[in-house]
Amino acid sequence: DGGITQSPKYLFRKEGQNVTLSCEQNLNHDAMYWYRQDPGQGLRLIYYSQIVNDFQKGDIAEGYSVSREKKESFPLTVTSAQKNPTAFYLCASRNRGGTETQYFGPGTRLLVL
């Protein structure tokens, strides 16, 4: 069953702690994306990656880091430098050279203790 999985569904972060959100896809898609969603603000792009070992900053990259060591995986680390991390985080993937359609995972909600 092809798709995108995100884990965990809920994540709690303590002050000064780094946390990592997982995103895995078995769609054989080349490009992957991380978005942050806050109420009333739609989706804002954090980072994206078009190929393995390469990624670009989106509109709100400060306080976040990513890696793309494998085609199917694109983990997002929320660092202690991100002062307002409470949000819903969505991962998406896209098949390059296709119709630019992005497909989304179920999301991870990050809460600060």
Partner 1 sequence: AQSVTQPDIHITVSEGASLELRCNYSYGATPYLFWYVQSPGQGLQLLLKYFSGDTLVQGIKGFEAEFKRSQSSFNLRKPSVHWSDAAEYFCAVGAIGNEKLTFGTGTRLTIIP
Q: How far is the CB of 100 from partner 1 (least distance, A)?
A: 5
Tokens matching residue 64: 């976040």
Residue in this structure with the two tokens 């972060």, named with its chain if needed: 13
> What CA–CA distance (Å, rounded) separates 35 from 57?
11
Binding residues for partner 1 restricted to 84-103, rule: CB under 8 A: 88, 90, 92, 94, 99-103
Amino acid symbol at 47 = Y
Q: Which residues pair with 13 in a beta bridge?
A: 112
Among 25, 74, 76, 105, binds partner 1 (CB under 8 A): 105
Single out the residue of 68, 76, 26, 75 nearest to residue 51, CA to CA.
Answer: 68
Select 6 or 82, whichever has its Cβ closest to partner 1: 6
Of the candidates 26, 70, 106, 111, which one interacts with partner 1 according to CB under 8 A?
106
Binding site for partner 1 (CB under 8 A): 4, 6, 31, 40-43, 45, 48, 50, 58, 88, 90, 92, 94, 99-107, 109
